[in-house]
Structure 1
């Protein structure tokens, strides 16, 4: 996976986690993740609860270790590396946050349409 693709994947994970955690959990705090991937040094900050920080850390580690190039979607991977319980947690989080993110983007598009009128 290219470093740009990796960076995009990490940013997407961060967005999804922040949407999910802000809606479902309390006790969020900011944590900085210093991530190394090939020749990329990436630093991201995420405001999450302990449970979500732990799962995000796990997901980033799995992403760093992914042997596939190009990287398939985890759901379609021939050799899944996620533990079953972690996979279920991720799927639940992605479903919820994906819907929220999709609705947010749709609302933004509608607002933009009406502003042009």
Structure 2
């Protein structure tokens, strides 16, 4: 299997975070599909900004596996809440993304 480029990693992580936030917002804040409430939109924008500026993208898998936590404490808590809620549900909504994420997470834990 070919090694992912940094751009592919960025795109994959952005897609995963975006989908998880969208799912969380849709089900918890009752927003229409394709839109986010202001709080979730702020979290989404912040998360994408953090991914874009990540200096460790070449070597890490996901933010959760990173040794450096670049999120502000309140944003970190929000994203943790979203991930905890969305993670198990992603398997039913986006099975390919969910399986890929689980596979990468397990691979990261082994090394």
Query: TM-score surpassing 0.5?
Result: yes
More strand by share: 1
Counterparts of 1:43-58 in structure 2 under 5 Å?
A: 46-58=34-46
Residue 27 of structure 1 and its aligned partner are, at CA, apart by 5.0
Answering whether residue 63 of structure 2 is matched by residue 81 of structure 1, we say: no
Q: Per the alignment, do residues 103 and 47 of structure 1 end up closer, same or farther by CA in structure 2, a change over 3 Å counting?
A: same
SS in 1 for 2:35: strand
**Comparing both structures, which one devotes a greater share of its residues to helix?**
2
Shift in Å, 1:72: 4.2
TM-score, scaled relative to structure 2: 0.69
Q: What RMSD over aligned residues (CA atoms) do the two structures have, in Å? A: 2.2
Residue 92 of structure 1 corresponds to 81
With normalisation by structure 1, the TM-score equals 0.66
The answer as to whether partners of 1:21 and 1:49 remain within 8 angstroms in 2 is yes
- Asked if 1:24 is matched to 2:36, the reply is no
Deviations 1:1-52 (A, max 9, x none): 61111111111111101110011114558xxxxxxxxxxxxxxxx5211110
Instruction: State the shift of 1:101 in Å.
Output: 1.2
Q: Give the number of aligned pairs.
A: 90
Deviation string for 1:74-99 (max 9, x for gaps)? 23322210111111110110111111
Select the structure of larger CA radius of gyration. 1
